[in-house]
Amino acid sequence: MSELKKHPYPQLNFEARPRHLGSIRGRLGQFVGGHFSSVNLSPLLFSHRLDDTEHVKLEVWSAPGRTKPTFDEAKRQKYRPAKKGEAFGPSWTNHWFKVALHIPKDWEGYERVQLEFDCSGEAMVYTTDGDPIHGLTGGWGTERRVEFIIPPTARKAGVAHYFIEASSNEMFGQNGMDPPDQNRYYWLNSCDLVVPNMEAWRLMWDFDHLHQLVDNLPDDCPMHMKAQWTANEIMNVFQTGDMESVKAARKTAEAILGEAWEDKVQKESESAEKQKGTLWGIGHCHIDTAWLWPFSVTQQKSARSWSTQCDLMDRYPEHRFSATQAQQFKWVEQLYPSLFARIKEKISEGTFQPVGATWVEMDCNMPSGEALVRQFLYGQKYYQSRFGITCKTFVLPDTFGYSSQLPQIARLAGCQNFFTQKLSWNNTNTFPNSTFNWVGLDSSQILTHMTPVDNYNSQCNLDDIRRAVTNHKNTEVTSQALLLFGNGDGGGGPTPPMLEKLRRIRATTKQHDVGGMLPPLKMGGSFEQFFDSVREETINGGKLPNWRGELYAEFHRGTYTSHGSIKKGNRKSEILMREAEFAATAASLADPSYKYPKDKIDSAWEDLLLCQFHDVLPGSGIAMIYEDAEEKYAGIQKYIRAVLEEAYSALYKNSHPLDAATKVPSNSRVFAINTLHNYPRQEVVTVPLTGAAGLRGSCAQVSGDGQKGYMLMDASDETVIGQPKGLYADVARVTVAESEPGVFVMTNESLVMKIEDGRIASIYDKAADKELLAHGQTAGMVIMEDNPNFWDAWDVDQFHLEKQTHLKFGNVRVLEGGPVRATIGASLRVGQSSMEVEISLDAVPASLKKDARSMIRFSAVVDWREKHKFLKFELPVDIQSDTATYDTQFGVVSRPTHRNTSWDAAKFEVCGHKFADYSEYGYGVAILNDCKYGYATEGNVMRLSLLRAPTQPDPETDMGSHAFSWAVYPHLGTFAESDVPQVSYAFNTPLHLRYTSSKTNELTASPLALSPPFRAPGTHNVFVETIKRGEDDADTGKTTVVLRAFEQFGGHAKTTLKIYDLDVTKASLVNLLEEEIEPLELLEVPDDRTGISGGGEETKAYGVKLSFRGFEVKTIKLTLASAKSKRSSGSDGWVKV
């Protein structure tokens, strides 16, 4: 009999039966936990719980100090009895528990038995064979995951044994965002054998789903009302402690979820990849490679998080999990091989999905162009070698701004798609698109999705799901969106309750028309399928809007400056890697006995790339990670300097490096190596005379204390070698004097600089008859109060500009009086800090370009003791332009100097690499630097950011000693007419000084070492950034050389790349992974070099024609006949020095 027939419509009605009042909604909060937890659903959630020693035997061994032993090491140790409630610590220590479980026979009938292990920190469960099988997170945060399901075999046997490594840290370190408490102890809250009542749990999830529908759908939505009615009915049906009522309550929930919905969802999940929907749910787990914890903890986090996901995939067939960062895979491969094998299996099944393409999720503001290339190269090579895949989607949800060269670099590295999220944090403007074509500096585009869900670690609550619809900005073309769900930042990833929530959402949207309020949810997909589907829907992006240029993040602007030593480590390492690869390549071609040190180079790159992680290089991590990073930078300097020295020893026989520590024989001659291939130089170099008194005679100037000399080094012809040059041939001397008390004037042929009352009062260009400084303004140091509203290490707020103090130099004095270098010394005291600056002007111009001016160089040594202060160098100039130009990866980026709109005003602090330039028609000036990244140009005032002092999360950020340099370089013409990029390269790449003490003073060297083997003559705007051996040479036995060049001013360029002294058999244009795009025609051309004392024979050169569009990056691979230069056998060249 139908319900209707059972209840005919009565004639009379005496009931009051009101419409539900608002209080019904409030009632829904009473069903689980809270004040009524003794009588509501909570007591039913567990049927049994045992922790007595008869059932749970517990022993522990604590690893000494902060050591992190392997399973095998830990297993061998002597364990002592342990019990619940014990404390263990201090912070960052590891404790191994041996757990023996005896499961009561009468528990066999229960659906599930599990171990509940809550150590209040993070933990990993191992089998007794050493397989890491499940991660656990204790404590009471949302990331809590303390249960481990006992497998059926163990339940049947009645006993189970495990090892659990418990670590003394929470998911977010020791103290959240505050500096870590290094003496924190953790408690073993539970180690219980429990039987969960799964039907009660399922009712809890059903009810939570209904409650969320009530809370997240608008009141006028029918589903809101229906869900409220149903949830209230469930509370009416439920009886305290009554399992039958739980079943009835679950039946009631089917009014929303549909009849027998679980079976349907389960069935559908088994072929999840066939599901349709617009919101693609993909599990994810953002693991910061270091942040509030060091690298070593991240290694554990990766294993914990990923083993747990493998387990979840076995239980939820619709579950797909995506992970980024090749470095983390490599750690798991090295430290957890059995887990790695399990992951590899899941990868081949398509359920575990490596994405992202890069080595780590790097900062994208500060790494050089080449470093970004290597992020992709090392990432993709790893994925190719281990999993046979090339990632098509670049995934970078959490970084603090996106360089305008990323589209080109990602495309050239095999990625067609880009996923990110972080711009939703913008604190000024709302980014206008969710799905769009991002068009980079060179016009390369990449299909980009910024999820409207607005986070990358969704808890699968309905507010997130709703945002996929309400916050999607391109629904006129596509409604598809990505839902990245799972605990993140500290790792963890998806949990069973999240997957249960998603199942209920799917059931609801299948069952009911929710009027577009909730998107149909698709599980079982991948990033690539998502983007393919968007491509199809938008006709390959043809219907989507474009965004051109950088994705500037309107927040976290302090990260260009925080932790100055890390910025310095990054820049110096990048420059050193460039020089070492070039030298080692030349040596490997010139000297058959020299072996290209690929392993050392790879390992240095991996360390450098690791330190570019988005909380390491930006300076936003705890102090511990900077100790690790400093050690890595020191290692790079040590090992790669040795690589460079070995290469130079092979290339320049009988030569030695010249440094302060060397004792130089008296008959020695000095020479310099110029590593900027297309850029002849002539500059003043400093020569240490402490152990080299014999060199005094070659110096054009000797310092007052006789400790160092100054040589004018001439590398102006086409050789690589520079030699000392006499002063008076064509160079006027530089002079300096205290013209009146407290007024110092430095003058050379092109400039006059005046310091008065501790400030730079004038920089006058003699030939142009132009005062560079704005009328009535002075240049010099400025300090600002820097108290950001939030995110101390990350943020600098606009108002810091409103509270600034101009600082004056004291103790100004002449240190060097010319003729080739004049130097003024100056001191600065501010608060508890002190600073010594040397301001120098050389006799020669900064470059060999016609009409080039000199640069004014500032070298500072600072003892920094301030807190929450921002130190900058400020240069107010008599120049007016709407834009200023900043050095970026493989090119430059223009940004406004005015503050017209909120988009312009938000760019009050920006990232630049080696220079920022401000030019108008006819004249301009650049500020160069050797290790800084923060700049601003506000109206006519240029600023270079030098030091900050945040106290969170590292309370000692930047305290102590710093040494850095910058320079002011005026030039004729606009930026595009200038040679600022070349001068900034030279500023960052000092000439390498060496000496030879052979009798004849002849330097024996391979032709490759005397003259650059690769040149792109006649082009002002093409720069050869990289010369390296091919990635696969060791495997294939081939000899290949890879060159990377780019157009650096933003215009077209045509050039013939010339190759000298090498037997080239093939030339190809390749992508960044060094895979051929197309063959290039190899031309034979005459060897047209001048000034080369080569082997004496007539040689031919090769030519490859190249054309560039503005800011284009091209990679050329040359295959050589053999691993030696044409003239290497018995025909070394020589130069007389």
Contacts (CB under 5 A) with Zn ion, residues 551-570: none
DSSP state of 583: H
546-548 β-sheet, strand order: 393-395, 417-420, 445-450, 435-439, 546-548
DSSP state of 362: B
Nearer to Zn ion, 290 or 410 (CB): 290
Tokens 């060999």 belong to 848
DSSP state of 609: H
Nearer to Zn ion, 366 or 577 (CB): 366
Q: Which residues contact 565 (CB under 8 A, 6 or more apart)?
A: 626, 630, 958, 962
Provide the mask over 925-954, with x wherever binding to Zn ion is found by CB under 5 A and - wherever it is not. ------------------------------
For the CB of residue 502, give the shortest distance to Zn ion in the complex, in Å: 24
Q: Which stretch binds Zn ion (CB under 5 A): 253-261, 280-288, 490-498, 1056-1064?
A: 280-288
For the CB of residue 293, give the shortest distance to Zn ion in the complex, in Å: 12
Nearer to Zn ion, 556 or 681 (CB): 556
How many angstroms separate the CA atoms of 668 and 998, rounded? 7
For the CB of residue 398, give the shortest distance to Zn ion in the complex, in Å: 4
Q: Which stretch binds Zn ion (CB under 5 A): 145-153, 387-395, 398-406, 592-600?
A: 398-406
Q: Which stretch binds Zn ion (CB under 5 A): 397-405, 618-626, 945-953, 1035-1043?
A: 397-405
Nearer to Zn ion, 288 or 786 (CB): 288
- Pick the closest to residue 631 from 601, 607, 602, 598 (CA basis): 607
Q: Which stretch binds Zn ion (CB under 5 A): 284-292, 450-458, 765-773, 1121-1129?
A: 284-292
For the CB of residue 286, give the shortest distance to Zn ion in the complex, in Å: 6
Q: Which stretch binds Zn ion (CB under 5 A): 98-106, 160-168, 286-294, 862-870?
A: 286-294
For the CB of residue 379, give the shortest distance to Zn ion in the complex, in Å: 16
For the CB of residue 425, give the shortest distance to Zn ion in the complex, in Å: 12
How many angstroms separate the CA atoms of 1109 and 1051, rounded? 6
| φ, ψ at 206 (rounded to 5°) | -60, -50
Residue 134 three-state SS: strand
CB atoms within 10 A of CB 134: 23
DSSP result, 377-388: HHHHHHHHHHHS
User: Is 398 an annotated catalytic residue?
Assistant: yes
186, 166 contact by CB (below 8 A):
yes
Nearer to Zn ion, 288 or 938 (CB): 288
Q: Which residues contact 401 (CB under 8 A, 6 or more apart)?
A: 364, 365, 550, 551, 552, 553, 556, 911
Give the containing element (helix H, strand E) for 894: strand 891-896
Q: Which stretch binds Zn ion (CB under 5 A): 119-127, 283-291, 329-337, 924-932?
A: 283-291
- Pick the closest to residue 192 from 96, 117, 111 (CA basis): 117
Among residues 398, 464, 607, 887, which one is catalytic?
398
Nearer to Zn ion, 553 or 583 (CB): 553
Nearer to Zn ion, 394 or 915 (CB): 394
Provide the mask over 103-142, with x wherever binding to Zn ion is found by CB under 5 A and - wherever it is not. ----------------------------------------
Residues for the chain: how many in total? 1137
Nearer to Zn ion, 395 or 826 (CB): 395
For the CB of residue 397, give the shortest distance to Zn ion in the complex, in Å: 8
User: Using CB atoms, what's the residue nearest to Zn ion?
Assistant: 398
Provide the sign of the torsion angle of the four alpha carbons 554, 556, 558, 564, taken in this order.
Answer: negative
Residue 945, Ramachandran bin (φ over 0: left; ψ between -120 and 50: alpha; else beta) = beta
Q: Which stretch binds Zn ion (CB under 5 A): 1-9, 90-98, 288-296, 638-646?
A: 288-296
Q: Which stretch binds Zn ion (CB under 5 A): 34-42, 393-401, 644-652, 1030-1038?
A: 393-401
Tokens 């040596």 belong to 587
833-842 β-sheet, strand order: 810-817, 821-830, 833-842, 856-864, 960-972, 923-929, 915-920, 883-888, 891-896
Nearer to Zn ion, 356 or 876 (CB): 356
211, 231 contact by CB (below 8 A):
yes
Residue 715 three-state SS: strand
Nearer to Zn ion, 489 or 500 (CB): 489
- Alpha-helical (H) ranges within 39-170 are 71-75, 152-157
824, 744 contact by CB (below 8 A):
yes
Nearer to Zn ion, 420 or 678 (CB): 420
- Pick the closest to residue 363 from 303, 288, 452, 441 (CA basis): 288
Residue 188 three-state SS: coil
For the CB of residue 381, give the shortest distance to Zn ion in the complex, in Å: 24
For the CB of residue 906, give the shortest distance to Zn ion in the complex, in Å: 22
Give the containing element (helix H, strand E) for 531: helix 527-537
For the CB of residue 413, give the shortest distance to Zn ion in the complex, in Å: 21
How many angstroms separate the CA atoms of 168 and 66, rounded? 10
| φ, ψ at 921 (rounded to 5°) | -55, 125
Q: Which stretch binds Zn ion (CB under 5 A): 3-11, 110-118, 235-243, 391-399?
A: 391-399
Amino acid identity of 270? E
For the CB of residue 614, give the shortest distance to Zn ion in the complex, in Å: 6
Tokens 């099988």 belong to 133
398 lines the binding site for Zn ion (CB under 5 A): yes
1083-1086 β-sheet, strand order: 1014-1015, 1053-1059, 1100-1108, 1083-1086
Q: Which of 122, 208, 268, 288 binds Zn ion (CB under 5 A)?
A: 288
Residue 1001 three-state SS: coil
Nearer to Zn ion, 398 or 607 (CB): 398
Residue 541, Ramachandran bin (φ over 0: left; ψ between -120 and 50: alpha; else beta) = left
For the CB of residue 559, give the shortest distance to Zn ion in the complex, in Å: 12
For the CB of residue 374, give the shortest distance to Zn ion in the complex, in Å: 20
Nearer to Zn ion, 566 or 893 (CB): 566
Using CB under 5 A, count the residues that bind Zn ion. 2
363 lines the binding site for Zn ion (CB under 5 A): no
DSSP result, 495-506: -HHHHHHHHHHH
Half-sphere exposure of 796 (CA within 13 A, CB side): 31
Catalytic residues: 398
**Binding footprint of Zn ion on the chain (CB under 5 A):** 288, 398
